[in-house]
């Protein structure tokens, strides 16, 4: 979540919604991604420390929201074949979408595991 904020931070500041890829995105998605991520992580730590399954079940909604918003941000790498689309911009964090793909798909897999652990009462 922090990596997405750092990679897309300049576009959020100037409000263009254009960064690494060629497909536009809403800067509000980055804000939601960061806010939900921080709150969810803190609440998940509380759930793990206290061992309360009820808290973990509520926090799962935050994990899923974080994963879905992350996948929406990952869609910025989809090529836009529109007549007036921008060219791809360089990305100092890696070449292309590899690092974003690894982080966001990894997060979805992690959320699936968190869901399994919580629903099977193995917390």
pLDDT digits (tens, 9 = 90+) for 3-15: 656 665 555 444 5
Domain-embedded: residue 18: no
| Predicted local distance difference test score (pLDDT) of residue 13 | 46
Task: Give the C-alpha separation, 62 to 39, whole Å.
Answer: 8
DSSP conformation letters of the chain: -HHHHHHHHHHHHHT----SSSS---HHHHHHHHHHHHHHHHHHHHHHHHT-HHHHHHHHHHHHHHHHHHHHHHGGGS----TTPPPPPP-TTSSTTHHHHHHHHHHHHHHHHHHHHHHTT--
Domain-embedded: residue 8: no
| Predicted local distance difference test score (pLDDT) of residue 70 | 86
Domain-embedded: residue 50: yes
Name every residue whose Cβ is closer than 8 Å to that of residue 3 and which is 6 or more positions away in sequence: 93, 99, 103
CA dist 84 to 22, 80, 81, 87, 88, Å?
Answer: 11, 9, 8, 9, 13
Domain-embedded: residue 36: yes
Domain-embedded: residue 39: yes
pTM of the entire structure? 0.72
| Predicted local distance difference test score (pLDDT) of residue 17 | 47
Domain-embedded: residue 84: no
- Give the residue ranges of the chain where pLDDT is below 50: 12-14, 17-21
Cβ-contact 4, 74 below 8 angstroms: no
How many domains would you assign to the chain? 1
Residue 111 domain boundaries? 27-79+95-123
| Predicted local distance difference test score (pLDDT) of residue 110 | 95
Domain-embedded: residue 87: no
Domain-embedded: residue 14: no
């Amino acid at each position: 979540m922090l990596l997405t904020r750092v990679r897309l931070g300049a576009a959020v500041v100037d409000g263009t919604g254009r960064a690494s890829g060629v497909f536009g995105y809403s800067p509000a998605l980055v804000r939601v991604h960061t806010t939900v991520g921080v709150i969810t992580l803190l609440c998940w730590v509380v759930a793990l420390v206290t061992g309360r399954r009820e808290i973990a079940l509520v926090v799962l909604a935050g994990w899923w929201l974080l994963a879905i918003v992350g996948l929406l941000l990952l869609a910025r790498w989809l090529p836009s074949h529109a007549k007036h689309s921008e060219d791809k911009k360089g990305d100092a964090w890696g070449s292309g979408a590899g690092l974003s793909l690894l982080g966001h798909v990894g997060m979805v897999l992690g959320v699936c595991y968190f869901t399994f652990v919580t629903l099977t009462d193995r917390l």
